[in-house]
Amino acid sequence: MPYHESPMPTPTETDDALYVALLHVCERSFFAFVETCVRLQFAVLVGKTQSQPPLQDVDGLDAMAAQLPRWLKASVAFDGNSSSGAIEIVLPELLARWLVASLLGITTEVDLGQVELLDQQVFDGTGEFVNMVCGAWLTDRSGSEAFSLGSPAVTRLSADWSPLEESGSEPPGLRVSVNDLPLQIFIRSATA
Amino acid sequence: MAQVTSEVATPRVSRPLNILIVDDSATMRMVIRRVVDLTEVPIGTIYEANNGLEAITILETCTVHAVFTDINMPVMNGHQLLLEIAQREKWNDILRIVISTDGSRLRQAEVKELNVNLYIQKPFRPEVVRNALSRIANADTH
């Protein structure tokens, strides 16, 4: 997963600030490459992540993906003067492990398979990831207004969960590719 | 999104520096520890605390020259910790560095009143912390 300068975003105005915050955090602290994703591209990335080919037929990251097909959901509540709610991020566990290892400076593309990360480290680091994204987004959005963040919560979603099967009544959130793996981010607004 | 968003006059410190890292995320404590280890500044002991209350226990029992603290933490947050430090004369010389996701001007202004030497917003590049610590420590010897 090479690191490059990520392109500037072209999503909707609503998602723009969130995308910039995500890009900023990924590039600055996690050394990850972020791209916007159209619906079809996102579906292909999800399909790759959730396919489970026989291990002898794959190698490298595909093998890791086959071993780590589960998704994680990380959320953090925020409270400001003008709005409150929560930011949620869903991502494959493989990506979460890569991000945490990268933050800790203990991995490269080659040796991810050799890195031993405890579940607790993956969950804690993924919580820090959503915390940073939320903080960056709120700082840009609120300017001088102070805000508070809750403690991040990270859960492992059920084995059959897929971001492509989310309820049609809810907006899909922002869908991006991070190091060629899918990531989805939502804002759950409690007050406007 | 500026990384180094607020800085005030730096007090003189002794070497080697004993560091206290206060953050409820073990991952972030490990990141900061790694960055501190990369500096050319002689480092003594690095202590860690999950929150402000644990930090005060360490400050009361150990010699600490510099505190890196988060703001949003359970039990006792970083603002409360900085307030405690500011109120105790024996801790006047401790360097205070805030590393927080909250980059709002109001939050920065709040902690600036508590003699914070540096306010760094997450996400940060490692060299920002490394350079800041080097600059602060060198101010003591040059």
Write the CB contacts of B2 (distance below 8 Å, at least 6 apart in sequence): B103, B121
A177, amino acid identity: S
Which A residues 132-161 touch B at CB under 8 Å?
132, 134-136, 138-140, 142-149, 151
- Substitution target in A20, A28, A76 with the highest count of B β-carbons within 10 Å is A28
Give the Cα separation of B116 and B109 in Å (integer). 10
Q: Which pLDDT score, from 0 to 100, does residue A121 have?
A: 92
Most confidently modeled range among A14-23, A66-75, A132-141: A132-141
Chain B residues within an 8 Å CB radius of A148: 72, 102
For residue A72, the model assigns a pLDDT of 94
CB-count burial class (<10 Å; 0-12, 13-18, 19+) for B79: buried
A135 contact residues in B (CB cutoff 8 A): 100-103, 121-122
Mean pLDDT of chain A: 78
CA–CA gap between residue A29 and residue A31 (Å, rounded): 6
B1 burial level (CB within 10 Å; 0-12, 13-18, 19+): middle
Is A139 within 8 Å of B30 when comparing Cβ atoms? Answer: no
B125 phi, psi to nearest 5 deg: -80, 140
Distances in Å between the alpha carbon of A144 and those of B16, B24, B102, B110? 37, 25, 11, 11
Nearest to B55 by CA among B36, B70, B43, B44: B70
Cβ <8 Å between A124 and B25: yes
In the predicted structure, residue A8 carries a pLDDT above the cut 90? no
pLDDT at A60: 53
CB pair distance less than 8 Å for A134 and B101: yes
Average pLDDT over residues A89-111: 82
Contact residues, chain A, for B31 at CB < 8 Å: 103-105
Report the C-alpha gap between A82 and B127 in whole angstroms: 35
A137-154 burial, b at 16+ Cβ within 10 Å, e below that, comes to bbbbbbeebbbebeebeb
> Stretch A137-151: mean pLDDT, rounded?
82
- Please indicate whether, in this complex, the C-beta atoms of A128 and B106 are within 8 angstroms of each other: no
Report pTM: 0.82
Residue A53 has a pLDDT of: 47
Across the range A75-102, mean pLDDT stands at: 89
Contacts of B105 in chain A (CB under 8 A): 143-144
pLDDT, tens digit, for every residue of A57-81? 445 555 555 555 688 999 999 987 7
Residue ranges of chain B whose CB lies within 8 Å of a chain A CB: 1, 24-28, 30-31, 34, 72, 74, 100-107, 110, 121-125
Contacts with B, A 48-107, CB within 8 Å: 100, 103-105
Q: Is the interface score ipTM higher than 0.90?
A: no
Mean pLDDT, 10 residues at a time, over chain B (142 residues)? 43 71 95 87 93 97 94 92 94 92 84 88 84 73 44
Nearest CA in chain A to B27: A125
A-B CB pairs within 8 A amount to 83
